[in-house]
Amino acid sequence: PITQALRAGQYGQALRLLEPALEARPQDAALWTLRGVTLARLGRTDESLRSYRTALKFEPRSLAALRGAAEVEYQARRPEARDTLEKILALDPRDATAHAMLATLAYERWDCAAAAAHFERGRAVVDGTASALWQFGHCLFALGRPLDAAAVFERLSAMDPANDQVRFNIALCLY
């Protein structure tokens, strides 16, 4: 019933169903994770993060709880987001979303070497996100890889053909 309520977008109902379930099984990491999801959908991010962290206390290698916590931390640009994302990659090195998030965090620190490495590993997510492609192209250019940057800006141009800045960057990279 809890997952059905979540799928139906009935977050208040899901939360009401979770409370007695957690009273009966207070150390159930899956229930705490569902509570985190529910609270996040209700916009109660601090409570959501506490629920994810409780789940991780009982099951430290729970990818669902780690991913939920990482999403909340990343959106709020909390400093612990990086550590949480690294934990995800330790368990699932091919997680494209974690790589894409780490890439953006590295870009925001002006660490283009780390950003480019993560952008490359997160291509499945990056290629569909204009801001990530912009950051990726910028980092490749800054790292002295103008032809690689031009290819990234070409992908961005395919998403937004009328963007003069993107076309300028392609020309600059090729020059």
Q: According to the model, what pLDDT value does residue 89 have?
A: 98
Joined tokens for residue 81 = 């987001």
Residue type, 133: L
Encode pLDDT of 63-111 as tens digits.
999 999 999 999 999 999 999 999 999 999 999 999 999 999 999 999 9
In this structure, the number of other CB atoms found within 10 A of the CB of residue 76 comes to 13
Helix (H) or strand (E) holding 173: helix 164-174
CA nearest to 133, candidates 168, 164, 162, 158? 158
Which two three-digit tokens encode residue 65?
């709880």
How confident is the model over 132-143, as pLDDT tens digits? 999 999 999 999
Asked if 64 and 89 count as a contact pair (C-beta separation under 8 A), the reply is no
Output the pLDDT for position 67.
98
Q: What is the pLDDT of residue 148?
A: 98
H-type helices in 76-163, by residue range?
81-91, 96-108, 112-121, 123-126, 130-142, 146-159
Burial class (CB in 10 A: 0-12, 13-18, 19+), 145: middle
